[in-house]
Amino acid sequence: MDQEWRKCGVCKKSILFNQVYQKCSISTCRKTIFCSVDCWSVHDSVLGHKSAYAEEERAPASDQSDRPRRRVVVSSGGTKEASQDLPMDTLIVVSKLKSYVKAKGDMNTSGDVADEISRFVRILVNEALDNARAEGRKTLMARDFEKIKI
């Protein structure tokens, strides 16, 4: 996992993710980063800062925490979705679910069931959206679900 995050502003050496690097304390220099205090000293002498110092920082742990890149998921139907932007709320009425489980199976429902069912609902809706899109519609309809094989 030796992935480069950015380059040192002086020696151009790679600064890797999760690596400690140096920043100049002068606010206008914030965009430049340095692999070591030595490289920062070179920068300091070039720019002739009066009372600057090097600040130690740590590079982000991974690519994603640095710049939020959209992960594009392409399903079989060609649906593109930026998964990170989708609302991940519970999609069902938990109290209704609980009373159904109680009535049907005389069981209690653990707290994580609703999220898991919501995951299934999303999968079904994604499939149905593909079906609606295939027919050139802008409205999701009940019949888009009928074609889904479970």
Which residue ranges make up the site for Zn ion (CB under 5 A)? 8, 10-11, 13, 24, 26, 29, 35, 39
Is the distance from CB of 80 to CB of 74 less than 8 angstroms? yes
The residue among 26 and 91 lying less far from Zn ion, judged by its C-beta, is 26
The residue among 8 and 114 lying less far from Zn ion, judged by its C-beta, is 8
Q: What does each C-alpha distance from 18 to 4, 8, 37, 54 come to in angstroms?
A: 10, 14, 17, 18
**In angstroms, what is the minimal distance from the CB of 94 to Zn ion?**
55
**In angstroms, what is the minimal distance from the CB of 29 to Zn ion?**
3
**In angstroms, what is the minimal distance from the CB of 51 to Zn ion?**
11
The residue among 29 and 128 lying less far from Zn ion, judged by its C-beta, is 29
The residue among 35 and 114 lying less far from Zn ion, judged by its C-beta, is 35
**In angstroms, what is the minimal distance from the CB of 47 to Zn ion?**
5
What is the 3-class SS of the chain, one letter each residue? CCCEEEECCCCCCEEECCCEEEEECCHHHCCCEECCHHHHHHHHHHHCCCCCCEEEEECCCCHHHHCCCCCEEECCCCCEEEHHHCCCCCCCCHHHHHHHHHHHHCCCCCCCHHHHHHHHHHHHHHHHHHHHHHCCCCCCCCHHHHCCCC
The residue among 38 and 63 lying less far from Zn ion, judged by its C-beta, is 38
**In angstroms, what is the minimal distance from the CB of 4 to Zn ion?**
13
